Chains A and B, each alone.
Chain A
Amino acid sequence: MDFFDPVLNGFGVVLDPQNLLYCLMGVVIGMLIGVLPGLGPAATIAILLPLTYGIDPVTAIIMLAGIFYGAQYGGTITSVLLRLPGEASSVVTVFDGYVLAKQGKAGTALGIAAIGSFIGGTVAIIGLTFLAPLVASFALDFGPPEYTALALVGILLVATISGGTKIKALIAAAVGLLLATVGRDVFTGAERFTFGNLSLADGIDFVPIAMGLFGIGEILYNLEERHRAVSAPAKVANVWPSRADLRKSSGAIGRGSVLGFFLGILPGGGATISSMVSYAVEKKRAKDPSRFGKGAVEGVAGPETANNAAATSSFIPLLTLGIPANATMAIIFGALLIHGITPGPQLISEDPELFWGVVNSMYIGNILLLILSIPLVGLFVKILRVRAAILAPITALITILGAYTIRNSMFDVLLVVLFGALGYLMKKFGFEPGPLVLAFVLGELLESNLRRSLLVLEGDVSGFLTRPISATLLVIFVLVAVGPMIKSALARRQQRDTTRVSADS
């Protein structure tokens, strides 16, 4: 029973009234921003980072995690009622959810989504409970070369999978790595890229970058995007789905849980991709695929289950390897660093209260969400009526004043605004800010492990390939980096051949 002692202690941590309160706050904020189109979970967590300075690290992470998975719930509501996905991860829910709403079954769609999300989240937490310690104990033997390879693969996967142009995402990631080198060199103390500026000597803090790129960047972007009309939501009645609907969706929920769990673990995977894959799987498996898009309950149940399962399981690489799997996890990584906690394989053994506290808070959070989401739907629909014109300056002020309170420094606020402009421009020019922030967070870890490895290997780069784990990871790295290029080159050649053949004939 040794294994379960810390797990049970973790429940003690969550049931502490303060933690419960913050968990509740987190999930409610998460649902709210999930409902409001515009700010995503990454932006909200970034904006609220200053709030976490004053509180206990466990409490802080419990709240931030709550925002993350709460947003998955909230995004569903607008997808179903308004045909407006509040989050990228609920885009596919629109296809059948909105049609169901039009058929007067909005309540069924929301109810099934809430139940599916709860089951998916719970399955993923159970998976996390058993898998995380295994991964962590495996990773305890990792040395600098393994960490170098792991960080490289993590950054590359996030950059190549996150959508948009791959080269641009890679440039963004590389710029993130470069920004991480600003300041004093840890090994020699030499100042790099500081241009004699004292404020830069300690390096650029993670918080202004995240708050700027995600927070102000999205606020500025929304200023120009806001002209989209919002229509009035459908009436919601009868939230509890019928037994027939439940029976129809049970398979989809089961498959969605497993699928979401595994896709969530992969770097660059996560909620959005798993919801899309789940929709595709359900459509393919259905006896009559033509029902999809015309109000198939499975088309809501599967993706909604999968995105919640993935949101939960994406904590595994962060909490066991110290490698964030997506942009939101990168911000939570940053929040942990602020509190002096470096996530990694030693986290479970050195800080079991934090680890199990956070994991178990997800059980509680999911129950809270299930209880809250159904009665609160009406309230959230009302919130949709708050005009973006009034919300925008409020979020901007929260960001600016929040950024100031971190270190009482106007320089930080200026950085936030400047990075905000950069975030906006990156979006306009097709560069994803996610890979930049992720690479920035991992930058120091990557450089110091690379330099340490080179010292250990005495400058012999081939040493990376003689260690089995780092060699495997580097092979994956090369496959991910070069694979798509070869594939597209082959496809192009094939196309040329076929055109030549048809021209000859």
Chain B
Amino acid sequence: MNRKRDYEAESDSTDVLGAPDLTPEELAAEWAAESPPPSGPVANLAASLVAAGVGIAGMIIALGLGLGTPGEPRPGTWPFIISLIITVLALAQLVVGRRGGMDGERFSPLSRMAAFGFVTLLAMVWLMPVIGFEIPALLLCFVWMKFLGGETWRSATLYSVLVVAAFYAIFILGLGTSIPYLF
């Protein structure tokens, strides 16, 4: 939460250049150690099953559209082929990645931030046509800066108001777009 202060403290000491000498290999290893752990076998199972589900659903719908023949392709031909490919690949991934690979990233407590961000964006989409963009945008800015970004109350309030005012000036007054607005 105190990123700002940490940052300034570091810049006072002007001592980044004193960081230890690292060879490219050591540096790569350090990056690998800093990066979050791969998503693991459960995530692979879930992702493969979802992908296979998409493939199977696609095949069923495509069958309803008519499969046709190579000589006379119908609307369902191409979607069926792709859905079949998705299903086969998903099942292959299910087996290949059963021990969890090196890819993806495990969810961490910080992932809640992304989920929270997504919910606030949905709220903005829901509120914008009802009460215009200003209030939802102001709330979005404030919440993201204060709770997701760890800004102080003062700077979060100040910057949110400035940002929304700037957007109002650009999109409503300047460009005259038809974005729903209240004031």
Q: Chain A: residues with CB nearer than 8 A to chain B? A: 82-83, 92, 94-95, 99, 101-102, 164-165, 167-168, 170-171, 174-175, 177-178, 181, 185, 187-188, 190, 192-193, 216, 219-221, 223-224, 226-234, 292-294, 385, 387-390, 392-394, 396-397, 400-401, 404-405, 408, 410, 413-414, 417, 420-421, 424, 427-431, 447, 450-451, 454-455, 458-461
Contact indicator per residue, chain B 5-24, by CB within 8 Å of chain A (1) or not (0)? 01100110010110101011
- Given contact pairs A185-B75, A219-B117, A417-B118, A461 touches B70 in the complex (Cβ within 8 A): yes
- Given contact pairs A230-B7, A232-B10, A393-B144, A430 touches B104 in the complex (Cβ within 8 A): yes
In the docked arrangement, what's the CA distance between A227 and B96, Å?
Answer: 33
Residues of A with C-beta under 8 A to B58: 178, 193
Q: Are B27 and A389 in contact (CB under 8 A)?
A: no
Set B24, B121, B129, B159: member contacting A396, Cβ < 8 A:
B121
In the docked arrangement, what's the CA distance between A163 and B83, Å?
Answer: 23
- Determine the residue in chain B with the shortest Cβ distance to A452: B73
Known interface pairs A187-B73, A454-B73; 19 further A-B residue pairs with C-beta atoms within 8 A, sorted by A's residue number = A95-B24, A167-B89, A170-B85, A178-B86, A192-B65, A223-B148, A224-B111, A390-B151, A392-B149, A401-B171, A404-B177, A405-B171, A405-B178, A410-B125, A428-B104, A428-B107, A429-B43, A450-B78, A451-B78
Set B46, B47, B177: member contacting A431, Cβ < 8 A:
B47
Set A396, A408, A410, A429: member contacting B47, Cβ < 8 A:
A429
- Given contact pairs A167-B89, A387-B3, A428-B105, A392 touches B148 in the complex (Cβ within 8 A): yes
Contact indicator per residue, chain B 58-100, by CB within 8 Å of chain A (1) or not (0)? 1001000100011111111111001101100110110011000
In the docked arrangement, what's the CA distance between A458 and B71, Å?
Answer: 5
Q: Are A232 and B47 in contact (CB under 8 A)?
A: no
Q: Are A229 and B6 in contact (CB under 8 A)?
A: yes
Smallest CB separation, A312 vs chain B (Å): 27
Residues of A with C-beta under 8 A to B89: 167, 170-171, 174
14 contacts between A and B (CB under 8 A): A95-B27, A165-B103, A171-B89, A181-B79, A193-B79, A227-B110, A231-B11, A387-B149, A410-B129, A424-B118, A427-B104, A428-B43, A430-B38, A430-B105
Residues of B with C-beta under 8 A to A230: 7
- Determine the residue in chain A with the shortest Cβ distance to B92: A167
In the docked arrangement, what's the CA distance between A56 and B156, Å?
Answer: 38
- B179 interface residue per 8 A CB criterion: yes
Q: Chain B: residues with CB nearer than 8 A to chain A? A: 3-4, 6-7, 10-11, 14, 16-17, 19, 21, 23-24, 27, 34, 38-39, 43-44, 46-47, 51, 54, 58, 61, 65, 69-79, 82-83, 85-86, 89-90, 92-93, 96-97, 101, 103-105, 107-108, 110-111, 113-114, 117-118, 121-122, 124-125, 128-129, 133, 137, 140-141, 144-145, 148-151, 159-160, 163, 167, 171, 175, 177-179
Q: Are B10 and A413 in contact (CB under 8 A)?
A: no
Residues of A with C-beta under 8 A to B175: 405
Residues of B with C-beta under 8 A to A388: 149
Residues of B with C-beta under 8 A to A455: 73
Q: Are A429 and B145 in contact (CB under 8 A)?
A: no
Q: Are A188 and B179 in contact (CB under 8 A)?
A: no
Set B17, B74, B125, B144: member contacting A413, Cβ < 8 A:
B125
Q: Are B97 and A165 in contact (CB under 8 A)?
A: yes
In the docked arrangement, what's the CA distance between A413 and B167, Å?
Answer: 17
- Determine the residue in chain A with the shortest Cβ distance to B167: A397
Q: Are A390 and B107 in contact (CB under 8 A)?
A: no
Q: Are B71 and A454 in contact (CB under 8 A)?
A: yes
Total A-B pairs, Cβ < 8 A: 219
Residues of A with C-beta under 8 A to B179: 401, 404-405
- Determine the residue in chain A with the shortest Cβ distance to B151: A389
Residues of A with C-beta under 8 A to B16: 82-83, 231-234
Q: Which of B11, B121, B150, B160 has the most CB of A within 10 A?
A: B121
Residues of A with C-beta under 8 A to B167: 397, 401
Residues of B with C-beta under 8 A to A216: 121
Smallest CB separation, A470 vs chain B (Å): 15
- Given contact pairs A231-B10, A396-B121, A428-B104, A390 touches B159 in the complex (Cβ within 8 A): yes
Smallest CB separation, B180 vs chain A (Å): 8
Residues of A with C-beta under 8 A to B137: 397
Residues of A with C-beta under 8 A to B125: 400, 410, 413-414, 417
Residues of A with C-beta under 8 A to B21: 99, 102, 294
In the docked arrangement, what's the CA distance between A185 and B75, Å?
Answer: 6
Residues of B with C-beta under 8 A to A175: 51, 54, 86
Smallest CB separation, A73 vs chain B (Å): 22
Q: Are B114 and A397 in contact (CB under 8 A)?
A: no
Residues of A with C-beta under 8 A to B160: 393
Residues of A with C-beta under 8 A to B19: 83, 102, 231
- Given contact pairs A387-B151, A400-B124, A410-B128, A223 touches B70 in the complex (Cβ within 8 A): no
- Given contact pairs A95-B27, A178-B83, A168 touches B141 in the complex (Cβ within 8 A): no
